[in-house]
Structure 1
Amino acid sequence: MLSRTVYRHRNPRRSPLVTERTLYLVTCGAPLASRLEDGVRVARERGWTPYVIPTDAALPWLAGQDLAGAPVLTGNRAPGEPKRTPKADAVAVVPATFNTLNAWANGNASTYPLTILCAALGSHTPTSVVPFAKDDLAGHPAWLASLAVLRYAGVRVVDPHDGSPSSLKPVSSGTGERVADGFQWGCALS
């Protein structure tokens, strides 16, 4: 289990504050988003305070889910509006669709979730991603190049089928719900 102690200004020489660590849960519009409430629960069990950051396509997948009070943040904040979250101790992108993963690897910060992801790479925030693309999209050369960029940047890539960080199988068309049902959230949050 992860420690619930974090340090002021992330400096371990300072006295610890008793608090939970901050996790940004970025989610995209794919069947695995339908289980985000499980991700929030597992994150809390592991000592994280989760903040949900959905893409526009993910919003319908979140409808009716019990996110146990986890804030759901959409859109950029208005000028002069204070920050809505503490700095992330870690980021998990579950699931990451073809569009979001490629835009992120390209440094495209055109939406709030992509800005969060690009900033996480730039600040070297520990990040894991669960790619969720059908086999025809996963065969596109940009997909493999984007995965290589993210791995090179230190992002931990997690296979949605078995949680393996070393292999990555595409999601066969029509099997998304089955893959989502069998997904183990601990693999993305470890």
Structure 2
Amino acid sequence: MTDRTLYIVVCGAPLASRVGDGVRQARDRGWSPYVIPTDAALPWLEDQDLGGAPVITGNRKLGESRRTPKADAVVVAPLTFNSLNAWANGNATTYPLTTLCAALGSRTPTVAVPFAKHDLAAHPAWLASLAVLRYAGVAVVDPHDGSAVSLEPITSGTGDAVTQAFEWDWALDRL
């Protein structure tokens, strides 16, 4: 039985196709995972076996009780350019972003796996947002090799190869 709650926030990029692997590996490590996808990530989840992990979408309705236990940790994988910048700027405009902003504010251990192509990662907001998140204590993991020191953008046309080579242990080991 697990007693540690892990939120897995998922944005819409190829790595989202491997969330089921993350759920299974998290469970193997004693976590109780909850999947929190952005709207753009939902199509990536459709045919995946998430092992019965709850998928939490949309904001709570008026009078609705909390849908998840308090998180002991958060992994956001993949983290897209748009979500990274919104999160770093405190834009809690969707349930996944609210979840990420609250985790940052409560100092919940958080690991991010950014996944953006060169043209987006070359935008000045990318480095500024990464700096804000790192300063706030977020562990950033390179999806190519698990490095916590460097982060390489995704070369156009290689997203599927990077996705297949990704090891969930890289993110889970940082919790």
Summarize deviations over 1:149-187 as a string: whole Å, max 9, x none.
Answer: 000000000000000100100000110000000000011
* Mapped pair 1:125 → 2:115: no
The 5-angstrom pairing of residues 87-166 of structure 1 reads 87-166=70-149
Map 1:1-190 to 2 at 5 A: 19-190=2-173
Letter of the 2:115 counterpart:
F
| d(CA) in 2 for partners of 1:58, 1:19 | 26
In 2, the alpha carbon distance for the partners of 1:120 and 1:35 equals 23
> What secondary structure, in the 3-state scheme, does the structure 1 residue paired with 2:133 have?
helix
Q: Which has the larger radius of gyration?
A: 1
Give, in whole Å, the separation in 1 of the partners of 2:117 and 2:24.
27
**Separation in 1, partners of 2:147, 2:29:** 20
C-alpha displacement of 1:20? 2.1
Tell me if the contact between 2:76 and 2:112 (Cα under 8 Å) persists in the aligned partners: yes
CA distance in 1, matches of 2:60, 2:172: 27
CA–CA separation in structure 2 for the residues paired with 1:98 and 1:145: 12
Distance 1:65 1:164 in 2: 27
| 8 Å Cα contact 2:2/2:27 also seen in 1 | no
Aligned to 1:11: none
CA displacement, residues 88-133 of structure 1 (integer Å, 9 cap, x when unaligned): 0000000000000000000000000000000000000000000000
Partner Cα separation in structure 2 for residue 118 and residue 151 of structure 1: 14
Question: Aligned AA for 2:15?
Answer: L
Separation (CA, whole Å) in 1 of partners of 2:43 and 2:22: 17
Q: Percent of pairs identical after alignment?
A: 75
- Alpha-carbon deviations, 1:137-159, whole Å to 9, x = none? 00000000000000000000000
- Cα distance change of structure 1 residues 65 and 19 upon mapping to structure 2, 3 Å threshold: closer
Aligned mates of 2:140, 2:2 — CA distance in 1: 28
How many pairs are equivalent?
A: 173
Deviations along 1:7-26, one digit per CA (max 9) or x if unpaired, are xxxxxxxxxxx742000000
Consecutive unaligned residues in structure 1, runs of 5 or more: 1-17
TM-score by length of 2: 0.98
Moved more, 41-50 or 18-27: 18-27
Supply the AA of the counterpart residue of 2:128. Answer: A
Whole-angstrom CA distance in 2 between matches of 1:68 and 1:26: 16
Q: For the aligned residues, what is the CA RMSD?
A: 0.7
TM-score by length of 1: 0.90
Q: Which 4+ residue blocks in structure 1 deviate beyond 2 angstroms?
A: none
